[in-house]
């Protein structure tokens, strides 16, 4: 069931500053920042060839990463996203195993326009897991 690692999301307090460090210190090739007000974040992708880093900055009130940045003001790794072929089958297998799906348990359309689910970090040893149907 577990497919490719689609991206690792890193929450940062200042996207311009963080992306400049990735570009200048690490030599990363940056995408363009994209404001996604309906998701409460501005995102910027770094393509590593085999997968992506998603830098996330809060946008607007009630951003889903605001609480994380309150706990981790410097930023940090926020979640990891795996691809699945069939998100409903994946959800049902996860629920049968006892894992908790966040929200109402139904996929919603994520920041990339595809159906996504988030799984409770307490069920995955402190890691917030996103599943994306590709």
Residues that bind a copy of itself (CB under 8 A): 1-5, 8, 10, 12-13, 18, 21-22, 24-29, 46, 48-51, 53, 72, 74-77, 80, 82, 90, 93-94, 97-99, 121-127, 129
Active site residue 83: no
Nearest 10 degrees: CA dihedral of 67, 62, 33, 22?
-10
User: How far apart are CB 48 and a copy of itself at their closest, in Å?
Assistant: 4
CB nearer to a copy of itself: pick between 38 and 92: 92
Instruction: Report d(CA 75, CA 94) in Å as an integer.
Output: 29
CB nearer to a copy of itself: pick between 41 and 129: 129
The residue count for the chain: 134
User: How far apart are CB 58 and a copy of itself at their closest, in Å?
Assistant: 13
User: How far apart are CB 42 and a copy of itself at their closest, in Å?
Assistant: 14
**Secondary structure (3-state) at 110:** coil
Write the CB contacts of 53 (distance below 8 Å, at least 6 apart in sequence).
7, 8, 9, 10, 22, 28, 45, 46
CB nearer to a copy of itself: pick between 37 and 76: 76
Is residue 9 within 8 Å of 80, Cβ to Cβ? yes
Q: Give the residue numbers annotated as catalytic, written as ranges.
A: 130
């Amino acid at each position: 069931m577990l497919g490719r690692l689609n991206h690792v999301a890193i929450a940062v307090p200042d996207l311009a500053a963080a992306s400049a460090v990735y570009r200048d210190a690490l030599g990363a090739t940056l995408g363009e920042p994209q404001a996604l007000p309906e998701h409460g974040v501005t995102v910027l992708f770094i393509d590593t060839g085999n997968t992506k880093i998603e830098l996330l900055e809060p946008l607007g009130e009630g951003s889903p990463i605001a609480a994380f940045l309150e706990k981790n003001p410097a930023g940090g790794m926020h979640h990891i996203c795996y691809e699945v072929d069939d998100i409903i089958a994946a959800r049902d297998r996860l629920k049968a195993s006892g894992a908790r799906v966040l929200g109402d348990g139904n996929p919603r359309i994520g920041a990339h326009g595809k159906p996504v689910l988030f799984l409770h970090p307490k069920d995955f040893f402190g890691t917030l897991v996103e599943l994306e149907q590709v």
